[in-house]
Homo-oligomer: A and B are copies of this chain.
Amino acid sequence: MGENFEAKRLPRNRHSDLFHSECPGRIVFDHITGRWAPLVLVKLAEGPLRFYELRDQIGRISEKVLSEKLRLLARDGLIERTVEPATPPRVSYALTDMGYSVAKPLRRLMRWVADHGDAVLAAQARHDDQN
């Protein structure tokens, strides 16, 4: 049973060291994982959106939380807020180059969920039936 561990072990990732304990990388990592940021980033990867468009597309996110996350991501240099002068003013959010680059791995992750989500749900059901 221990042998096939070897077979499927990935080469040690030197980057994982950066995540030990109180490393600043953890802070960044927490920002782009977390519950809402990935959704925002992935949605914006398809094109810029206005505040309420974003809210509606994500669904079930309160305006307060959305605006908080938007501010955080702007601070991180991942998204950009643009005001077009008009009445009422149109505000839209778009990814920066850096935001665009992080959206790619996030989309892969989302793709994984799309491909394996049912298998996970099935595993949960199997596990729960065990009891």
Contacts and interface: CB of A to CB of B under 8 A. Distances in A.
Contacts of A126: 77
A116 B103 contact: no
Given A28-B121, A103-B10, A18 B113 contact: yes
A47 interface: yes
Interface in A36-89: 38-39, 42-43, 45-48, 57-60, 74-78, 82
B47 A5 contact: yes
Given A46-B16, A97-B8, A108-B105, A75 B127 contact: yes
Nearest to A114: B15
Contact of A16 (B1, B9, B21, B42): B42
Nearest to A109: B105
A71 B18 CA distance: 26
Contacts of A111: 13, 15, 105
Interface of A: 1-2, 5, 8-13, 15-16, 18-22, 24-25, 28-35, 38-39, 42-43, 45-48, 57-60, 74-78, 82, 94-95, 97-98, 100-114, 116-117, 119-124, 126-128
